Amino acid sequence: MASRYTHRPGHASGYPEFLSIQESLLLQIIYAGRGLLDAFRWVLVATTVAGDAEIRSNISKSLLLNSFSLTTLYVFDLLFFDNQQWLRPNVGLLYQLIWLLPVVGILFYLNSSWCFVIAKRTYSLQYANRAVVQQQPVTYTGLLTAIATSAYRVVMVFTSILVSFALRYIPRIGPVAGFIFLCWIDAYYCFEFVWIARGLSLSGRIRHLEERWAYYLAFGSPSAALCTWGSVPANAVVFALIFPLYIIMAIHARPVPEDPYSTSPPGSRFNDNEVIRHPSPYIPIRLPIFALVMWLNDWIVRVLSVGGGRSVGPASFKRNRAFSDGAESVEEGGGGGLGMDRSKPVRSVRGRINIGRRKID
């Protein structure tokens, strides 16, 4: 039987071939299966933690602090609020301002510091022969850009959570839509360090996830499922508890497909005699998962900007996206595809076709 990737006599040169809808759906199911498999590599996590003292130390501190915080939250609610219902309306706001918000702030700072060390050390162990993208010399302009980029990322966290909660209020499909979006959010932040280390800009990271939506949906589903059973503070602490473990899985993962616009097998070499088969145009290659988040980001930043008196609305979406892309220069790099071995030949851009979609960043 002739391979579907071999040249057939009489085939119009350059004329694209497409998979059927069933074949394209099967591919997405396979990609989702790979993502789910990568999200359950607990043996790999245990081996990584046991094999390095620095990772083990930071994991231990994170587990101890977050476990204590989670226990404290539930004990405090059980002793004071469940048995004394009159305390909730009278003391609830004071409890949040004096106790809950400062604790959450401290936890966020400590967990961010530990997760950065864990991610950096795991990346260096996994890719010992690859250097993290070199940082440019710090200048005054670069410092301002870094501050602006960090602020933009904080706004993105806020708007992502806001959209996730808003989706839950949609009649009938709200809870499912909110959960699916939360899966993508969790996957994004688990992979964020390795994307930055590989030199992907903000738009590049978002595009990478949106073009591999099935894989990242499945990868983020276990962590999202663990963070939907308690109160908002408890769910946040649970995510902080498991986040370092999923960072390790993400650094060792190889998201698929390598090239979402082609169905060529991973690791195959390309030549001029191949018939390139593209996914069905009826199954989207890229989903605009973060389109609303990015629009809200630019809207909030423009409102908060000094002198930003121009109107903001859906009509200015394209113009606003240019603003968000300009805020990420401190993180820009080569932007190569994650998980792609650079020693392998890559089909030139001329080998791809647009198949009726604009590839918008």
Measured on CA atoms in the order 329, 322, 334, 121, is the torsion positive or negative? positive
Q: Under a CB-based contact definition with an 8 Å cutoff, are residues 187 and 219 in contact? A: yes
**Partners of 83 in beta bridges:** none
**Phi/psi of residue 81, nearest 5 degrees:** -95, -40
The reported pTM is: 0.77
Please report, as a single letter, which amino acid is at residue 288.
Answer: P
- Describe the crossing of helices 291-304 and 317-326 by its angle, rounded to 10 degrees: 80
- pLDDT attached to residue 84: 53
Q: Under a CB-based contact definition with an 8 Å cutoff, are residues 242 and 190 in contact? A: no
Close Cβ partners of 255 (under 8 Å, ≥ 6 residues apart)? 34, 35, 191, 208, 212, 215, 216, 219, 338, 339
Residue 276 carries which DSSP code?
A: -
Pairing type for strands 277-278 and 17-18 reads parallel
Instruction: Please report, for residues 187, 213, 216, 242, the alpha-carbon distance to residue 184 in angstroms, rounded to integers and kept in the order given.
Output: 5, 8, 6, 16
Burial class of residue 166, CB neighbours in 10 A (0-12, 13-18, 19+): middle
**Partners of 254 in beta bridges:** none
- pLDDT attached to residue 359: 44
Domain boundaries, the chain: 17-339
User: From first to last of its 361 residues, what are the pLDDT tens digits of the chain?
Assistant: 443 434 444 445 556 788 889 999 999 999 999 999 999 999 999 999 999 999 999 999 999 999 988 888 887 777 665 555 555 555 555 555 566 777 777 888 889 889 999 999 999 998 875 555 455 555 667 666 667 767 777 788 888 888 998 999 999 999 999 999 999 999 999 999 999 888 888 889 999 999 999 999 999 999 999 998 887 788 888 999 999 999 999 999 999 999 898 765 444 454 555 567 788 889 999 999 999 999 998 888 788 775 444 444 444 444 444 445 444 443 443 344 444 444 444 444 444 444 444 444 4
Instruction: Please report, for residues 130, 146, 199, 315, 327, the alpha-carbon distance to residue 332 in angstroms, rounded to integers and kept in the order given.
Output: 17, 12, 6, 27, 10
